[in-house]
Amino acid sequence: MTTESNRQLGPVAIFDRDDTLLVDRHYMFDPQDIEWVPGAMEVISLLRDKGFRICVATNQSGIARGFFTEAQMHRFHDAMQRQLVSAGGVIDGFFHCPHHPEGTVAEYAVVCRCRKPAPGLVEQIDRTFPMDRARSFLIGDKPRDVQSAEAFGIAGYLYKGGSLLDRVTEILELTTAHQRCDIP
């Protein structure tokens, strides 16, 4: 049995998908709609080089609303991964919430613990990639992303456009400075 004290903890960088890693085209499932925000591919490589696991935590209510299926979403994520690999990057895991209480697909039209701002997706990531909470963070474009991170006990940051690489570089500088201040 794995306990908190004997788990191999490491830093994990968690990204929201739409309007954080990708330009949002609203309910995306067609791989032709993939357009990376400026600096997204580079930041994934940078963080991997710094020892971070990279994960995506994304609400995908389009599944509950019947706009696309989980299989179509998985194909979309596979296409994202192929593009990253060809550019020298990789995402360790894609975690999604297919639920929405007002959905039209009965099995997904529920209130759940995985829909951000609830912390369920971050909890799933932690079970798969045990997190060093002091060094891990989530970045997204909406307050619910930050709330999800904070509910789990890791830092959450907003991204409001521009270079994602610049934003993550700022975050890394802040966390490094904070860690230096905590050293006795």
Angle (CA) 100-129-46 rounded to 5° is: 100
The answer to the question of residue 109 being in a domain is: yes
The answer to the question of residue 6 being in a domain is: no
What pLDDT score does 97 carry? 97
Count of domains forming the chain: 1
The answer to the question of residue 34 being in a domain is: yes
Catalytic site includes residue 126: no
What pLDDT score does 174 carry? 81
What pLDDT score does 51 carry? 94
Task: Provide the terminal-to-terminal Cα distance of the chain, rounded to the nearest Å.
Answer: 34
The answer to the question of residue 63 being in a domain is: yes
User: Is the CB of residue 85 less than 8 Å from the CB of residue 44?
Assistant: no
Catalytic site includes residue 24: no
What percent of the chain is predicted at pLDDT more than 90?
Answer: 84
The answer to the question of residue 3 being in a domain is: no
Distance CA 51, CA 130 (A): 13
The answer to the question of residue 102 being in a domain is: yes
Q: What is the CATH number for 69?
A: 3.40.50.1000
What pLDDT score does 150 carry? 97
The answer to the question of residue 106 being in a domain is: yes
* Residue of 18, 126, 141, 145 marked catalytic: 18
Q: What is the pTM of this model?
A: 0.90
The parent domain of residue 107 ranges over 12-182
What average pLDDT does the segment 110-116 reach?
A: 94
Token reading at 39? 């600096």
The answer to the question of residue 96 being in a domain is: yes
